[in-house]
Amino acid sequence: AASVGFEAMRYQSMKMTGDGYTWATLYYLLTFIKGVMLFSVILLIGTGWSFVKPFLQDRDKKILLAVVPLQVLVNTAMVVVEETPPGTYGWMTWRDILHLLDVICCCAILFPIVWSIRHLREAAEADGKAQRTLVKLKLFREFYILVVCYIYFTRIIVYLVRVTLPCQVLQCVL
């Protein structure tokens, strides 16, 4: 909500003074922080990290160290590409490459969730605490479905709508 407020203040400042650079910087900063926090939290929850288990396995750390910086870089580059005029040389190529990298990062955060579900399933079969483990397994499956739906709607459906709608309608909708 704060990032949208800063964007509104940017437009108001541009209307009054003709310059909205400060508000744009605050908007980009908050959008950047939001992106970092979102993917970090999804990845940490997906790996099963919590106060009960405050450690990560090596493969989870590697994914965390690869996906979060790449996602930050992609989101920052997407903001720059969105601010450049569409007629700029290579604009469509960069937009498509960045969108592809964004989807790849989103899919990469699904791997720790799948690994956690598999680990819980194996623990339920080998452990005497099957009931408690099955409850966790059900929660992780629901979390996985929510993450997949989030990725599907925010990354793929929005992109398909942008590509298929004519420019006149696109300006009104998105």
CA pair distance 155, 1, nearest whole angstrom: 20
CA gap 3, 5 in Å, rounded: 5
pLDDT at 16: 83
Whether the per-residue pLDDT at 86 is higher than 60: the answer is: yes
For 35-53, what is the mean pLDDT? 70
Pick from 5-14, 38-47, 55-64 the range whose average pLDDT is largest: 5-14
| pLDDT score of 171 | 63
What is the pLDDT averaged over residues 70-87? Answer: 81
Q: Which residue has the higher pLDDT, 95 or 162?
A: 95
Question: Which of 45, 67, 51 lies closest to 146, judged by CA?
Answer: 45
**DSSP, res 11:** H
Residue 84 phi/psi, 5-degree rounding, is: -85, 150
Cα–Cα distance measured from residue 45 to residue 64, given in angstroms and rounded to the nearest whole number: 12
Q: Where are the alpha helices (DSSP H) in 47-174?
A: 58-83, 91-108, 110-126, 130-151, 158-164, 167-173
Q: What pLDDT is attached to residue 53?
A: 58
Separation of alpha carbons 170 and 174, rounded Å: 6
Q: Is 77 exposed, middle or buried (0-12, 13-18, 19+ CB in 10 A)?
A: middle
Give yes or no for residue 111 having a pLDDT over 60: yes
DSSP class of residue 48?
T
Please give the mean pLDDT across all residues of the chain: 77
Query: What's the rounded Cα separation, in Å, for the pair 174 and 166?
Result: 12
Residue 47 has pLDDT above 80, yes or no: no
Tokens of 50: 């919590």
Quick one: average pLDDT of 120-130?
Answer: 70
Q: What is the pTM of this model?
A: 0.64
Nearest to 95 by CA among 113, 74, 116, 112: 74
